[in-house]
């Protein structure tokens, strides 16, 4: 069908129509590139093989902790009752490991600047199952497994390069982490794709043996988040059976040790496929992005169809001459398709560049919120997808052109002194093109605007606490943890001692000229790592199983003023209450309304589940407005001066324009205790941004889609209307000749153009209603906004008015004779 001559002629013709060629290549390249990038992202998340051998066999074990009534207290926690099971592995496994992440920032104390590091605790099976490649040294061996207490460490290549100048001699040396020296036995290669079990943002710098995990000494009834039982099944089919077997073992062990207040609670062990843990529900989000990019490509394809038709219409004279000289239909089509091939080739090359740019953007801005980003790149499935997409588009374009070009009319074109127009596209086709364009654009605009507005509302909303010039100082605390068997009072005394020391640090820092305010707390309103403490309380000690779970903050009297959190009822803690760690509590409004619908809770008491302690509610604080990954609505919050857990950090408010560094803080800490080191300073504003990252991403992606779809729709609608007007130029001239004024012509065109636009909008509305109804049955929640519906409609109508005016402007601003003469 094609000859080389066709291609060279087509190339020459396109070089003479650079604007047309560039528009087609840019439109198609941009949208195809976006689609390719989104396909790749979804492929990596949903289908690409994981970079571990026998990845189908790998499961991640954790438990759901159920209350008496069967409701889930906590999910994906590892009960300490799992540890005995690890010693006697199931016969369904070919390998297994315990794996957990440190909750707190730690530092490398052997280095003078004590850099902060992320630590994970593992047994040797982890490195075997995931085949950790070693750059130097070796991985953990079975000799370093549980119970061996061998202080060894494996460093990541990145840490080794950044902190130890890539010295091979580091292997064999010791590093100090917390109060312990560890011998470095290996450097894990950067080629190792770490399974990020608690989210894409958490990476590991140092792997330590499981024995050094602070959760290990806890009793058998304890459960901990961020800890997992990793297993490699002999067959993927054994997953359910393995989970059932472990449920029985873990729950029995838990029940044997459970205290009276935990009666009725139970554990259900889950063995989730590794892919599910790594990728979670990311696929839901990325599939929407894929759908958006497909819609964008459809809009672009409609545009290109218009451009191809216009091009064919402009070439009618050349076609007529070709036909007069004996060209067959296939010759005419051949020359069109040769041009199309060049355009598709250009678009395909541009698409790969656009996809690469999209990968770079995703790596820069979404690496912490989406999995699979690191694996994005040009590989065979992506190449195949891009080629097939291009081929499919080409075939669709070719088929449409083939059905629309009227060969007979072209033949007669020259015979009628050039007054015919052989490649006119029928009025119905033109209207269909406009309607389709408007429908696709309206759907995309409405969907994007709904998401954008929702994201913007969240971003513009006051989070409910002050964050400017406020910093979270994480502390690497080398104080030995209280021994497991220590009586509660002694344990509490140790915690109190530590809190008192931190308050001394706080008071020293308050003397610093840069510090406006300081407070000691386990967690600020939003922590850099998204973690928070949990308080399990009951309103009635007679009903210990009716747990009231809240996010718990142990703090001092400076906390509420420093973060400007309003107290709606009652009062703040007094210095006396803080120093004596009185049994008083402030709760947030949500919690108060749970306790009593009228929220009047001052004087009521909360009890610990054993009934041994009760706390008087002395205040009610305002809610925060910062939904996070754990809770889409404001959770219960409780604040107490009494420390019931080991974690503690400092929060500082600096004077405007002032700064402070870790050295100053460390000097203050050294004055009080050599065990304390400031691990890192996290700006509260950054902590908030981290929580809002999803909203920022949504806003950025949807803004880009809104702009792109609107521009594409504008080009497309203008293209069709302009082409429409060109075809009707003579008719409009006749109308003007018999007295139609410019305004009359414009009004008439507007009336005609708004019909297919209205039809497109109506169809889009129907499809959106169907989509909305479908979403009612899904987990996706979108707050609908009337503006998000109205704005696209108004924009499209305005666009139609403007493009109608633009398309006919060249005709109505000149005397009628120009239109009659086809000028």
Partner 1 sequence: MKQQKICMQGITKVFATDEMETHALRGIDLEIFAGDFVSICGPSGCGKSTLLSLLGLLDMPTQGSYQIEGQEVSGLSLSEAAYIRNEKIGFIFQSFNLIDELTVFDNIALPLRYRRNAVPKAELEARVMACLKTVDMTHRAGHRPNQLSGGQQQRIAIARALVGSPALLLVDEPTGNLDSKNGDAVMDMLSELNSNGTTLCMVTHDPRYADMASRKLHLLDGRILDAEGTPLTQPETLLRQVAGQ
Return the structure tokens found at 351: 């698409």
- Based on CB atoms, which residue is closest to partner 1, 96 or 728? 728
| In the complex, least distance from residue 431 CB atom to partner 1, rounded to whole angstroms | 13
Q: Which is nearer to partner 1, 240 or 417 (CB)?
A: 417
Residue 74 interacts with partner 1 (CB under 8 A)? no
Specify which residues 475 forms β-bridges with. 678
Q: Closest distance between partner 1 and the C-beta of residue 401, in Å?
A: 24
Entry field: residues in the chain: 823
Instruction: Kindly tell me which residue out of 672, 730, 802, 805 binds partner 1, with binding defined by CB under 8 A.
Output: 730
Long-range Cβ pairs for the range 666-669 (8 Å, 24+): 666/114, 668/505, 668/508, 668/509, 668/512, 669/475, 669/505
| C-alpha span between 153 and 172 (Å, rounded) | 10
Cβ distance 764 to 446 under 8 Å?
yes
CB of 733 to partner 1, least distance (A): 8
Instruction: Assess 737 for contact with partner 1 (CB under 8 A).
Output: yes
Alpha helices in 144-238 (DSSP H): 157-164
- Of the candidate spans 13-21, 405-413, 472-480, 729-737, the one that interacts with partner 1 by CB under 8 A turns out to be 729-737
Nearer Cβ to partner 1 (392/817): 817
Q: How far apart are CA 581 and CA 566, in angstroms?
A: 22
Does 744 bind partner 1 (CB under 8 A)? Our answer is: yes
Residue 236 is given by DSSP the state: G
What is the distance between the alpha carbons of residues 790 and 784, in angstroms, rounded to a whole number? Answer: 11
Q: Does 70 bind partner 1 (CB under 8 A)?
A: no
Give the residue carrying structure tokens 């109506």. 762
Q: Within 13 Å of residue 544, how many CA atoms lie on the same side as its CB?
A: 14
Least Å distance, CB 753 to partner 1, is 15
Question: Which CB sits closer to partner 1, 777 or 813?
Answer: 813
Q: Is 738 in the site for partner 1 (CB under 8 A)?
A: yes
CB 335 within 8 A of CB 6: yes
User: What track of x and - describes contact with partner 1 for positions 369 through 408 (by CB under 8 A)?
Assistant: ----------------------------------------
* Nearest residue to 525 via CA among 552, 557, 546: 552
Q: Give dist(CA 822, CA 803) in Å, integer.
A: 21
Residues 571-610 that bind partner 1 (CB under 8 A): none
Is position 734 an interface residue for partner 1 (rule: CB under 8 A)?
A: yes
CA–CA distance from 745 to each of 284, 424, 716 (Å)? 49, 21, 22
Residue among 223, 312, 441, 816 that touches partner 1 (CB under 8 A): 816
- How many beta carbons lie within 10 A of that of residue 98, not counting itself? 26
Does residue number 817 form part of the binding site for partner 1 (CB under 8 A)? yes
- CB-wise, 18 or 813, nearer to partner 1? 813
Q: How far apart are CA 72 and CA 54, in angstroms?
A: 32
- The stretch among 33-41, 57-65, 169-177, 808-816 that binds partner 1 (CB under 8 A) is 808-816
Report the C-alpha gap between 218 and 767 in whole angstroms: 56
Query: Does 739 sit near partner 1 (CB under 8 A)?
Result: yes
- Residue 735 in the binding site for partner 1 (CB under 8 A): yes
Token pair recorded at residue 57 = 């066999």
Closer residue to partner 1 in complex, CB, 526/725: 725
Which of residues 736, 749, 761, 796 is near partner 1 by CB under 8 A? Answer: 736
Per CB under 8 A, the segment of 26-34, 48-56, 787-795, 809-817 that binds partner 1 is: 809-817
Min separation Cβ 744 and partner 1, Å: 6
Q: How far is the CB of 815 from partner 1 (least distance, A)?
A: 4
Using only C-alpha atoms, the chain has a radius of gyration, in whole angstroms, of 34
- Options 223-231, 275-283, 515-523, 811-819: segment touching partner 1 (CB under 8 A): 811-819
486 in contact with partner 1 (CB under 8 A): no
For 223, the 3-state DSSP assignment is strand
- Under the binding rule (CB under 8 A), the answer on residue 812 touching partner 1 is yes
Quick one: which of 155, 52, 38, 177 has its CA closest to 105? 177
Contacts of 353 (CB under 8 A, 6+ apart): 29, 33
Binding mask 215-254 for partner 1 (x = CB under 8 A): ----------------------------------------
Q: Which residues form the interface with partner 1 (CB under 8 A)?
A: 419, 427, 730-731, 734-744, 812-818, 820
């Amino acid at each position: 069908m094609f000859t080389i001559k066709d291609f060279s002629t087509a190339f020459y013709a396109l070089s003479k129509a650079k604007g047309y060629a560039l528009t087609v290549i840019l439109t198609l390249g941009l949208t195809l590139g976006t689609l390719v990038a989104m396909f790749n992202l979804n492929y990596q998340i949903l289908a690409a093989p994981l970079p571990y051998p026998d990845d189908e066999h790998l499961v991640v074990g954790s438990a759901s902790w159920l209350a008496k009534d069967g409701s889930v207290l906590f999910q994906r926690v590892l009960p300490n009752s799992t540890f005995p099971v690890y010693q006697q592995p199931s016969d369904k496994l070919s390998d297994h490991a315990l794996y957990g992440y440190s909750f707190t920032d730690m530092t490398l104390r052997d280095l003078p600047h004590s850099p902060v590091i992320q630590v994970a605790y593992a047994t040797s099976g982890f490195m075997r199952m995931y085949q950790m490649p070693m750059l130097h040294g070796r991985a953990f061996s079975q000799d370093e497994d549980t119970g061996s207490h061998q202080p060894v460490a494996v460093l990541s290549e990145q840490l080794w390069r950044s902190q130890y100048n890539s010295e091979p001699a580091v292997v064999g040396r010791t590093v100090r982490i917390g109060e312990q020296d560890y011998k470095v036995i290996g450097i894990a290669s950067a080629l190792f794709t770490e399974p990020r079990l608690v989210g894409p943002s958490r990476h590991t710098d140092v792997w330590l043996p499981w024995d050094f995990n602070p959760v290990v000494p806890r009793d058998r009834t304890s459960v901990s988040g961020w800890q997992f039982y990793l297993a490699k099944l002999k067959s993927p089919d054994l997953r359910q059976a393995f989970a059932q077997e472990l449920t029985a073992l873990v729950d029995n062990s838990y029940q044997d040790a459970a205290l009276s207040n935990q009666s009725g609670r139970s554990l259900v062990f889950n063995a989730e496929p590794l892919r599910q843990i790594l990728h979670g529900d990311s696929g839901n989000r990325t599939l929407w992005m894929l759908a958006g990019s497909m819609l964008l490509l459809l809009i672009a394809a409609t545009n290109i169809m218009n451009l191809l038709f216009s091009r064919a219409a402009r070439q009618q004279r050349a076609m007529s001459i070709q036909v007069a000289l004996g060209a067959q239909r296939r010759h005419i089509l051949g020359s069109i398709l040769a041009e199309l091939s060049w355009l598709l080739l250009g678009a395909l090359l541009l698409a790969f560049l656009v996809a690469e740019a999209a990968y770079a953007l995703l790596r820069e801005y979404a690496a912490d919120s989406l999995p699979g980003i690191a694996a994005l790149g040009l590989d065979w499935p992506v190449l195949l997808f891009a080629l097939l997409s291009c081929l499919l588009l080409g075939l669709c374009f070719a088929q449409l052109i083939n059905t629309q070009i009227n060969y007979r009319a072209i033949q007669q074109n020259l015979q009628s002194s050039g007054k015919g127009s052989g490649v006119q596209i029928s009025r119905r086709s033109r209207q269909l093109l406009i309607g389709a364009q408007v429908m696709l654009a309206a759907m995309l605009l409405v969907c994007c605007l709904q998401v954008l507005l929702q994201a913007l509302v969240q971003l513009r909303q006051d989070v409910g606490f002050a964050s400017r010039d406020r910093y979270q100082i994480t502390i690497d605390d080398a104080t030995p943890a209280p021994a497991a068997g220590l009586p509660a009072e002694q344990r509490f005394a140790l915690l109190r001692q530590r809190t008192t020391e931190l308050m001394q640090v706080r008071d020293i820092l308050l003397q610093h000229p840069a510090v406006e305010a300081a407070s000691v707390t386990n967690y600020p309103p939003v922590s850099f790592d998204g973690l928070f403490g949990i308080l399990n309380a009951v309103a009635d000690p007679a009903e210990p199983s009716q747990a009231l779970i809240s996010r718990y903050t142990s703090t001092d009297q400076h906390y509420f003023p420093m973060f400007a959190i309003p107290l709606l009822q009652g009062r703040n803690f007094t210095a006396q209450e803080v120093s004596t760690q009185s049994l008083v509590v402030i709760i947030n409004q949500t919690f108060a309304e749970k306790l009593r619908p009228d929220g009047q809770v001052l004087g009521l008491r909360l009890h610990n589940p054993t009934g041994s302690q009760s706390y008087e509610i002395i205040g009610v604080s305002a809610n925060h407005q910062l939904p996070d990954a754990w809770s889409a609505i404001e959770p219960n919050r409780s604040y107490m001066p009494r420390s019931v857990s080991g974690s503690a950090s400092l929060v500082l408010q600096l004077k405007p324009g002032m700064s402070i560094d870790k050295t100053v803080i460390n000097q203050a800490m050294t004055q009080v205790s050599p065990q304390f080191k400031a691990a890192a300073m996290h700006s509260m504003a950054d902590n908030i941004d981290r929580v809002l990252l999803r909203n920022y991403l949504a806003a950025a992606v949807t803004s880009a889609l809104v702009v792109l779809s609107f521009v594409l729709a504008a080009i497309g609608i203008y293209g069709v209307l302009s082409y429409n007007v060109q075809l009707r130029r003579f008719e409009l001239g006749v109308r003007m000749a018999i007295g139609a004024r410019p305004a009359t012509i414009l009004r008439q065109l507007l009336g005609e153009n708004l019909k297919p636009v209205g039809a497109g909008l109506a169809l889009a509305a129907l499809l959106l209603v169907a989509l909305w109804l479908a979403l009612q049955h899904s987990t996706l929640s979108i707050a609908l906004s009337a503006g998000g519906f109205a704005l696209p409609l108004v924009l499209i109508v305005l666009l139609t008015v403007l493009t109608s005016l633009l398309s006919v402007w060249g005709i109505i601003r000149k005397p009628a004779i120009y239109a009659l003469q086809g000028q």
